């Protein structure tokens, strides 16, 4: 028992001396310009390098060097609609409500001063006012009854326009819609397209002045 006690005490003293020696060696590394780092055991040199590198945040550095990733495009089709058309807005609002679940339709109000033909396959205000236009995510433009059919399909209501895929029902549906599109301004009590375009032009001049950013 006595021998074990002496051995244990000797181990404690030896560990204490080694700790002091390591502390002095590390201290001299920082303050002695003639210090040779090769005399430090490999284990200590590894720990020193790890401590010195701990001040660099690799995540922050990566974020600073990387370009932000573009957000994925979720919509599958854009609906270009006339926000000044009261009857049209009933259908738009219905589709918007359904789209909250699906998120596949992007709604673009052509009556807004911010409407940009360049962002919508070059479709200007007058063209889109002639009939319903929709733009698929691949850039394909669809119009008329087909546009409604594609829009309704994206929100789970494709069955409403299923019969329009077949003749002669498709032709009849197209004819009915074309008649509505031609006279919808008069039916809804609005001015002619020429009067609307003139009013928009004046509004653009008053709002934008000489700025080239505003376009009809």
User: In whole angstroms, what is the distance from residue 209 CA to residue 204 CA?
Assistant: 7
- Segment 122-134 shows an average pLDDT of 97
pLDDT for 28: 42
- Segment 131-151 shows an average pLDDT of 98
pLDDT for 29: 43
**In a domain? residue 36:** no
**In a domain? residue 30:** no
pLDDT for 211: 54
* Residue, of 147 and 58, whose pLDDT is higher: 147
User: In whole angstroms, what is the distance from residue 193 CA to residue 126 CA?
Assistant: 8
pLDDT for 7: 45
* Residue, of 99 and 204, whose pLDDT is higher: 99
Residues 134, 147 contacting (CB under 8 angstroms): yes
**In a domain? residue 176:** yes
**In a domain? residue 175:** yes
**In a domain? residue 22:** no
- Picking from 118, 133, 128, the residue whose alpha carbon sits closest to that of residue 78 is 133
- Segment 46-69 shows an average pLDDT of 47
pLDDT for 215: 54
* Residue, of 123 and 211, whose pLDDT is higher: 123
User: In whole angstroms, what is the distance from residue 112 CA to residue 119 CA?
Assistant: 14
pLDDT for 107: 98
pLDDT for 203: 81
Residue 133 pairs in a beta bridge with 80, 143
Element (H, E) at 105: strand 105-109
- Picking from 121, 79, 123, the residue whose alpha carbon sits closest to that of residue 98 is 79
**In a domain? residue 44:** no
pLDDT for 204: 74
pLDDT for 97: 97
Range of the domain at 187: 77-208
User: In whole angstroms, what is the distance from residue 81 CA to residue 12 CA?
Assistant: 85
The whole-chain average pLDDT of the chain stands at 77
Q: For 154-209, write each residue's pLDDT tens digit.
A: 999 999 999 999 999 999 999 999 999 999 999 999 999 999 999 998 887 766 65
**In a domain? residue 32:** no
- Picking from 161, 147, 156, the residue whose alpha carbon sits closest to that of residue 108 is 147
pLDDT for 34: 54
**In a domain? residue 18:** no
Least confident piece of the model among 26-40, 111-125, 158-172, 177-191: 26-40
User: In whole angstroms, what is the distance from residue 124 CA to residue 119 CA?
Assistant: 10
pLDDT for 70: 42
User: In whole angstroms, what is the distance from residue 174 CA to residue 103 CA?
Assistant: 27
**Number of domains, the chain:** 1
Element (H, E) at 177: helix 169-187
Q: Considering Cα of 27, then 30, then 33, then 38, what sign does the dihedral take?
A: positive
User: In whole angstroms, what is the distance from residue 211 CA to residue 107 CA?
Assistant: 26
Q: If pLDDT is split at 50, 70 and 90, which confidence band does 214 have?
A: low
pLDDT for 42: 52
Least confident piece of the model among 60-64, 78-82, 98-102, 172-176: 60-64
């Amino acid at each position: 028992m006595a021998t074990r006690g002496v051995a244990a005490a000797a181990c404690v003293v030896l560990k204490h001396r080694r700790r002091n020696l390591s502390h002095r060696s590390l201290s001299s590394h920082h303050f002695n310009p003639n210090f040779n780092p090769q005399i430090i055991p490999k284990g200590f040199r590894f720990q020193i390098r790890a401590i010195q590198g701990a001040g660099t945040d690799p995540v922050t550095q990566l974020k600073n060097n990387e370009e932000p990733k573009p957000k994925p495009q979720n919509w599958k089709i854009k609906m270009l609609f006339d926000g000044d058309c009261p009857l049209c807005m009933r259908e738009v609002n219905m589709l918007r409500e359904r789209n909250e679940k699906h998120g596949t339709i992007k709604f673009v109000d052509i009556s807004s001063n911010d409407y940009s033909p360049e962002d919508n396959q070059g479709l200007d205000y007058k063209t889109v006012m002639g009939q319903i236009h929709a733009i698929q995510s691949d850039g394909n433009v669809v119009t008329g009854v087909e546009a409604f059919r594609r829009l309704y399909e994206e929100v789970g209501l494709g069955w409403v326009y299923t019969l329009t895929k077949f003749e002669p029902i498709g032709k009849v549906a197209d004819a009915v819609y074309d008649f509505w599109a031609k006279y919808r301004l008069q039916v809804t009590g609005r001015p002619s397209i020429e009067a609307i375009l003139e009013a928009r032009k004046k509004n653009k001049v008053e709002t934008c002045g000489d700025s080239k950013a505003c376009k009809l």
